[in-house]
Amino acid sequence: MSDKLTLSSLRLKAGVIMSMCSMVGLLTPPVGMVLFATSSIAKISVGRLSRALTPYLIGLFVVLMAVVMIPAISTWLPDLVMNS
């Protein structure tokens, strides 16, 4: 499978990376807007919620690094759909 660097695939990869970075940013303090909104809705402290989210954030960060290091990960599903 050849990985052609076309404009559409670069846009797709950039969009996936930007979305994942936004997810990490919205879930981590001090700016984590989703973290604070969820904390107030659930009526639990931000610290407790942050500790509960830590395993998920680690997994999200690992996947983000994999997408950055191996760009074909972000395009395998569109390639599968478009080529079938």
60 Cβ neighbours under 8 A, 6+ residues apart? 20, 23, 24, 27
DSSP character string of 7-68: HHHHHHHHHHHHHHHHHHHHHSTTT-HHHHHHHHHHT--HHHHHHHHHHHHHHHHHHHHHHH
User: Please, what is the Cα angle at 71 between 69 and 73, to 5 degrees?
Assistant: 105
Asked whether residue 55 carries a pLDDT value surpassing 90, the answer given is: yes
- pTM score, whole prediction: 0.71
Q: How far apart are alpha carbons 70 and 82 in whole angstroms?
A: 20
For the segment 17-29, what is each residue's pLDDT rounded down to a tens digit?
Answer: 899 889 888 888 7
